[in-house]
Structure formats: structure tokens, C-alpha cells
Amino acid sequence: MVTTHLRFTLLLAVIGIFSSSSQVRAANVRIKPFSSPFTTNLATLQSQIGYNFTNINLLRRAMTHASFSRENNKALSIFGFHLIETSLSLHLLSKDIDTSSKALTRLIAEVSNVESSCALDGNRLGLERVIRVSPKTDASNSGIVCGGFRAIFGAVATDAGTVDEAIKVFWKVHGAGAGRLVSVL
């Protein structure tokens, strides 16, 4: 009788050890989402653009294509497109107020061109490996890379509550490898 009781106690002790170790494992698993590849990519992207978000969800959204979820970068991308127009206009007209409307329009069209400029800027940041898309969608599609690139500026401006930061970030990431634009200006 005593031995049976002892065995039972031992069994309970062993079960206790197992369940506490599986709790530890469960706790480790719960930590994982914070270091997912996407989260790591967002951290890398912040250092690449030289801007740390107060609300990282804005960058998360900027890096989410409409094929992935209803919460996506469409509106931020439109905002970003207009911020790029603003950046270029300010830059050109403060350098030369006599800049012709034709020259300004041409420059905006050049930098906004999806194939020849916008997607290249996005590729330089490696956005094709960051942007979340549905399994059937190719994230390296130039329209998707370009949309993500533009959305970054919309996200920065929204986060900062001012367009100045976004314009600064634009010149940092566009100026970095844009031989063509630099020669135009």
C-alpha cells in the first residue's frame, strides 16, 4: 500500500517536471513572432532609410500589398507618390524659380516612372524581399515594388505628423543610387 502511494507520488512529480518544461517551451515559442523574418526585415529597412518609426505598424502596412490583406499600402502609396512630386518640385524650384513647367513635369514623370526609376529605387532597398503579398502574387513585380517604395514616404509622414521627414528620407534613398536624377539636377 505504501509503495503504491510512493509510486503514485513519484509519477505526479515526473508529470510535474514534464509539464513545467513544456510550459518553458511554450513560452519560448511565444517569443518567436517578435523575431519573425518580416519583423527583422522591417528593422533592417528602418536602418536603411535612416528613420525609426514611433508606430512600426505604419511601416508594416507600407510593406503589405493589397493581395495580402485588406489592411494594405494602397492609400499610403498614393500619399507617397504626391510626396515625391512635392520633394522634386521643392528641390527644383528652390534651386531655380525660372524652371519651366515642362522641365518640372518631365522630371516628375521620370522619377515616378515605375519601370525605369521607381521600382529600381525599391529594388535597391530590397523591397521585393520585404513586401508581403498573397502566395499567388510575385512580389518582384515592378508595380508592387514601386507601390511599396512610395508607401514608405506616406508611412514616414504619417508617423512624423509632418512631410519634412518623408522628404528627407526620399532624398536619402533616392539620391543614394540615382545617377540619372543627380545629373539632371
**Residues found near ligand NAG in the complex (CB under 6 A):** 50-52
The nearer residue to ligand NAG, 56 or 104, going by C-beta atoms, is 56
**First vs last C-alpha separation in the chain:** 94
The nearer residue to ligand NAG, 118 or 166, going by C-beta atoms, is 166
60 is written with which cell numbers?
508594416
46 is written with which cell numbers?
528602418
Q: Which positions ≥6 away from 87 have C-beta within 8 Å?
A: 166, 167, 170, 171
182 is written with which cell numbers?
543627380
Q: State the nearest-atom distance from the C-beta of 43 to ligand NAG, in Å.
A: 9
The nearer residue to ligand NAG, 172 or 180, going by C-beta atoms, is 172
The nearer residue to ligand NAG, 51 or 149, going by C-beta atoms, is 51
Q: State the nearest-atom distance from the C-beta of 47 to ligand NAG, in Å.
A: 7
Q: State the nearest-atom distance from the C-beta of 54 to ligand NAG, in Å.
A: 11
The nearer residue to ligand NAG, 36 or 52, going by C-beta atoms, is 52
CA distance 9 to 38: 47
Cα separation values, 116 from 5, 62, 119, 123, Å: 79, 21, 7, 11
The nearer residue to ligand NAG, 9 or 52, going by C-beta atoms, is 52
Q: Which positions ≥6 away from 177 have C-beta within 8 Å?
A: 120, 121, 124
Q: State the nearest-atom distance from the C-beta of 52 to ligand NAG, in Å.
A: 4
**Residues 121 and 173: beta-carbon distance below 8 Å:** yes
Q: State the nearest-atom distance from the C-beta of 46 to ligand NAG, in Å.
A: 6
Which residue minimizes CB distance to ligand NAG?
Answer: 52
CA distance 146 to 156: 16
Q: State the nearest-atom distance from the C-beta of 178 to ligand NAG, in Å.
A: 21
